[in-house]
Amino acid sequence: MTIIASRVIALALAFGCAGHAHAQVFPSKPITLVVGFAPGGPTDTVARIIADHMKTTLGQTVVVENVGGAAGTIAAARVARATPDGHTLNVGQWTSNVGGPAITPTPYDVLNDFEPVSLLTTSYLWILGRKSLPANNLQELIAWLKANPDKSSGAIVGSGSAAHVCFIDFQIKSGTRFALFPYKGGTPALQDLVGGQVDISCLEAAQTMQQFRAGMVKVFGVLANKRWAGAPDVPTLAEGGLPGHQIEFWHGLWAPKGTPKDVVAKLNAAVSAAFADPAVRKRFTDLGHAIPAQEQQSPQALFAHHKAELDRWWPLIKAAGIKAP
């Protein structure tokens, strides 16, 4: 081999190694967080707070893209088909990753066709009633519903949503019956509740706090294993006499299946850094969202939590015969 040939080969190898090293750099371009719900909603807000901090940690632009429809499953399908390089991610939640896939056929496996990155925040649901409702606590509400079977009404937000499953499980555990009326969003459901057009609803606590504090609606209990810090005077449903009825409205971050483990680890570290920032923690606290404990922020913890939720709720959803609209 000539000296010139040797140098050419050495130079080619050098460029090849440099190119390989460059290919391993992450992130190498802007990151997109795909959200399956409209701008301004709880999930969109969670995504934008996280994105705002991640861009500093990762040194790249992080944008939020809203792809609505089919209870968030259209957005998830887009991420499932994306290149598994960590630059396209899905911010989902209970409805999009538990309830929605139970009633909507999806071109992906909701548990196994994604790489879990991190559990995000959890917000609280509670059961509200119109101001003129005769009941003033949970036991009185259950008694009133039993005394008025099929004459009372409950507002739900979307088929298979947490608000819908909330009332299905409530009816089972309380032995009550009431008609369920679907709404396209929490705002119109709340408007009709305030206006007295429906009797009760199951909505996010933070979004309805103003109406509760103003005395425009009644609240009968929080669907959690502990009281919500935003309204510590409101008991849980278990404290009100209905144990076991709770739904955590949690959010999570996923990457496409096959995303390299080191990329997932870097994304997870960026989320943990956001949660460790006092300014981010305050923003979520002001919204009424709880930040997961450090041990709950790993990819493995998100997978385990997600699987447990599917195992718990899918049998109930399927037994209830809930169908996509």
Number of domains, the chain: 2
Quickly state the pLDDT bin for 62 (edges 50, 70, 90): very high
Considering the domain architecture, whether residues 49 and 98 belong to the same structural domain is answered as: yes
pLDDT at residue 6 is higher than 70? no
Q: Which two tokens stand for residue 176?
A: 């009550």
pLDDT at residue 313 is higher than 50? yes
Q: Which of 222, 241, 261 is the last residue of a domain?
A: 222
Quickly state the pLDDT bin for 42 (edges 50, 70, 90): confident
Considering the domain architecture, whether residues 108 and 130 belong to the same structural domain is answered as: no
Considering the domain architecture, whether residues 205 and 262 belong to the same structural domain is answered as: no
80 within 8 A of 107, measured Cβ to Cβ: yes
Considering the domain architecture, whether residues 112 and 157 belong to the same structural domain is answered as: no
Quickly state the pLDDT bin for 32 (edges 50, 70, 90): very high
Burial of 316 (0-12, 13-18, 19+ CB in 10 A): middle
pLDDT at residue 86 is higher than 90? yes
The pLDDT > 90 percentage for the chain reads 84
Considering the domain architecture, whether residues 217 and 296 belong to the same structural domain is answered as: no
Whole-angstrom distance, CA of residue 144 vs CA of residue 229 = 29
**pLDDT at residue 231, as a whole number:** 94
In residues, how long is the chain?
325
**pLDDT at residue 211, as a whole number:** 97
Considering the domain architecture, whether residues 281 and 255 belong to the same structural domain is answered as: yes
Residue 36, domain member (yes or no): yes
Domain CATH number, residue 80: 3.40.190.150
Burial track 114-149 (b if 16+ CB lie within 10 A, e otherwise): bbbbbbbbbbbbbbbbbeebebeebeebbebbeeee
| 99-147 confidence digits (pLDDT tens) | 999 999 999 999 999 999 999 999 999 999 999 999 999 999 999 999 9
Mean pLDDT is lowest, of 21-30, 127-136, 310-319, for 21-30
Residue 160, domain member (yes or no): yes
Residue 278, domain member (yes or no): yes
- Compute the average pLDDT of residues 222-242: 95
- Compute the average pLDDT of residues 179-206: 94
**pLDDT at residue 186, as a whole number:** 87
Residue 12, domain member (yes or no): no
Quickly state the pLDDT bin for 24 (edges 50, 70, 90): low
Mean pLDDT is lowest, of 82-86, 214-218, 321-325, for 321-325
Domain CATH number, residue 153: 3.40.190.10
Question: What is the average pLDDT value for the chain, to the nearest integer?
Answer: 92
**pLDDT at residue 255, as a whole number:** 98
- Show the domain range for 294: 28-122+249-320
Considering the domain architecture, whether residues 96 and 63 belong to the same structural domain is answered as: yes
Considering the domain architecture, whether residues 111 and 143 belong to the same structural domain is answered as: no
Residue 88, domain member (yes or no): yes
Residue 131, domain member (yes or no): yes
**pLDDT at residue 192, as a whole number:** 97
Considering the domain architecture, whether residues 118 and 255 belong to the same structural domain is answered as: yes
**pLDDT at residue 5, as a whole number:** 41
**pLDDT at residue 324, as a whole number:** 85
Residue 7, domain member (yes or no): no
Across 24-28, 114-118, 149-153, 247-251, the highest mean pLDDT is recorded for 114-118
Considering the domain architecture, whether residues 195 and 134 belong to the same structural domain is answered as: yes
**pLDDT at residue 13, as a whole number:** 45
- Compute the average pLDDT of residues 1-12: 44
Whole-angstrom distance, CA of residue 287 vs CA of residue 305 = 23
The pLDDT > 70 percentage for the chain reads 93
Q: Which of 172, 207, 222 is the last residue of a domain?
A: 222
- Compute the average pLDDT of residues 236-263: 96
pLDDT at residue 301 is higher than 60? yes
Considering the domain architecture, whether residues 153 and 215 belong to the same structural domain is answered as: yes
Considering the domain architecture, whether residues 142 and 211 belong to the same structural domain is answered as: yes
Residue 89, domain member (yes or no): yes
Whole-angstrom distance, CA of residue 322 vs CA of residue 308 = 20
**pLDDT at residue 184, as a whole number:** 83
Helix, strand, coil percentages for the chain (3-state, nearest 5): 45, 20, 35
**pLDDT at residue 303, as a whole number:** 98
pTM: predicted TM-score of the whole model, two decimal places: 0.88
Quickly state the pLDDT bin for 149 (edges 50, 70, 90): confident
